[in-house]
Structure 1
Amino acid sequence: MIALSLTSEGNEHGVGSSGGHGPSAPPDLKDLARQWSSELRRADVHPFLITAMVQRISLHIERQFVDIARSHGLGAGDLRVLLALARSGPEYALRPTELFRQLLITSGAVSKQVERLVALNLVRRATHPSDIRIQLVVLEDAGHQIARHAMETIISSFCGLQSLDTQQSNEIAAALKLLLTTVESASDLTEGGKRE
C-alpha cells in the first residue's frame, strides 16, 4: 500500500534532513510539510503535502509532454487534439464541442489549435455525412502517425514510469483515481454541482 508519513530523523523544522541535496535541488516536500505542521501547532498538513506532490509531478509530466510535442514541430495543445482524435474510433473525427469538453479547454482555444493543425495538413474540417449542420474535425493520415508515435513514446519511456512494475502501477492508479474523485467531487460542491 502507498502511505505518506511526516516522521523522519532530524528536528521538527526539517533542518539537516534534506538528504544531502545541493542548493539547486528542489526542497524536500516532507520537510516543508513538517515545517508547516510545526508552525500551525501540529495541524494535519497532509492536504498540503498531497497537493505539493501533485503539482511537482505535473511539472515533470508537462515538461516531457512539451518535449514530445516539439519533436513533431507542435505545441502541447496541438498534440492533445491529435491524441483525442486518434483515440476516438475508426472515423477519427469529433465535433469541436466534443474536443473542448474532452480537453477541458475553451472553444476558442480548440479553434486556434484546429486552425494550426489544418494549416499543417494534420487535420481537416468536414461536415457530418448524415447532417450537414454538424461540423467535424477529422484526423488526417499524417496527424494519425504523429499521434501514434507520441503515444508509443508515452507508454514506453515517459518520465521513468515504465520502470514501475504492474503492482506498483495498479496501486498508484488506484490512489490517483481516489484523489481525482475526491477533488472533482469537492469541485462539484463548490460550483453548485454544475460543470461547463
Structure 2
Amino acid sequence: MVSEISTQPSEALQTAVPRWRPSRSLEALQELLDVGEALPEVVARRAGMSTTELHALRHLSAEALGPVELARRLRITSAASSGVVDRLVAHGHAERRPHPDDGRRTVVVVTDSGRAEVIGWLRPMFQSLAELEGSLTPDERAVVERYLTGAVEAMRTLLRG
C-alpha cells in the first residue's frame, strides 16, 4: 500500500516543500518502508514467536548482549527483556552464559538453531535481493546506493529531532 503523502502531496506539503513532487521512486520508497514495517510481524508469526523475540534474535545474531543491553536495544524494560530471553532459551534459540569479564553477570548468545531459524525464514528475501543486486551494473549500484543513503539520512533528521 502506498501512502497518501507520496502519491498525492497535499497543498500544505507542496507549500512547505516546493520541490516535492510525486514520483515513481518516491512511491517505491514508501512501498519499501510499508513492506519493511509489516515484514517482522509476518516472519515472527510464521516462526511462532513475537516480533520482539525476532528483533532480539537479530540483535543477538550480531553480538552477545547482556539482558539489560538487549532491553535497551529493543526499547523495552529489563523485566520484559528477561521474559523474551526466557522464551528464546526455552525454544533453544538462545543461551545464557557467564559474562567473560564479570562472573556476576550473564550474556545472551544466539544458538546455531536460533540463527538457522531466522536465516531460514529470511532466505527467500535474501536470495531475491542478491539476484537483484547481481543484475545491476556498478554504475546502477552507485546510483541506488546514493539514493538509499540519502533517503536514510533524510529520515535520520527526524530521529535527531
Partner residue in 1 for 2:9: 33
1:167 correspondence with 2:142: yes
Read off the aligned partner of 1:176 and give its amino acid letter: A
TM-score by length of 1: 0.59
Between Structure 1 and Structure 2, which shows a larger proportion of helix residues?
Answer: 2
Give the structure with higher Rg (CA): 1
Query: Is there any run of 5+ residues in structure 2 with no aligned partner, and where?
Result: 22-26
> Does the aligned pair in 1 maintain the 2:52–2:84 contact within 8 Å?
yes
Q: Distance in 2 between matches of 1:43 and 1:146?
A: 48
TM-score by length of 2: 0.69
How much does 1:114 deviate?
A: 1.2
Over 3 Å counting, the alpha-carbon distance change for 1:149 and 1:100 in structure 2 is same
Q: 1:149 aligns with which of 120, 130, 140?
A: 120
Q: Distance in 2 between matches of 1:102 and 1:138?
A: 15
1:79 correspondence with 2:51: no
SS at match of 2:105: strand
Over 3 Å counting, the alpha-carbon distance change for 1:27 and 1:135 in structure 2 is closer
Q: Percent identity?
A: 25
Q: Distance in 2 between matches of 1:134 and 1:103?
A: 19
1:120 correspondence with 2:95: no
Partner residue in 1 for 2:24: none
Query: Is there any run of 5+ residues in structure 1 with no aligned partner, and where?
Result: 1-24, 187-196
- State the Cα deviation string for residues 23-54 of structure 1 (Å, max 9, x = none): xx7664356423445xxxx63157x99xxx78
How much does 1:171 deviate?
A: 2.4
Over 3 Å counting, the alpha-carbon distance change for 1:31 and 1:145 in structure 2 is closer
Number of residue-to-residue matches in the alignment? 150
How much does 1:55 deviate?
A: 7.4
How much does 1:113 deviate?
A: 1.5
Q: Distance in 2 between matches of 1:70 and 1:157?
A: 21
Over 3 Å counting, the alpha-carbon distance change for 1:30 and 1:148 in structure 2 is closer
How much does 1:66 deviate?
A: 1.9
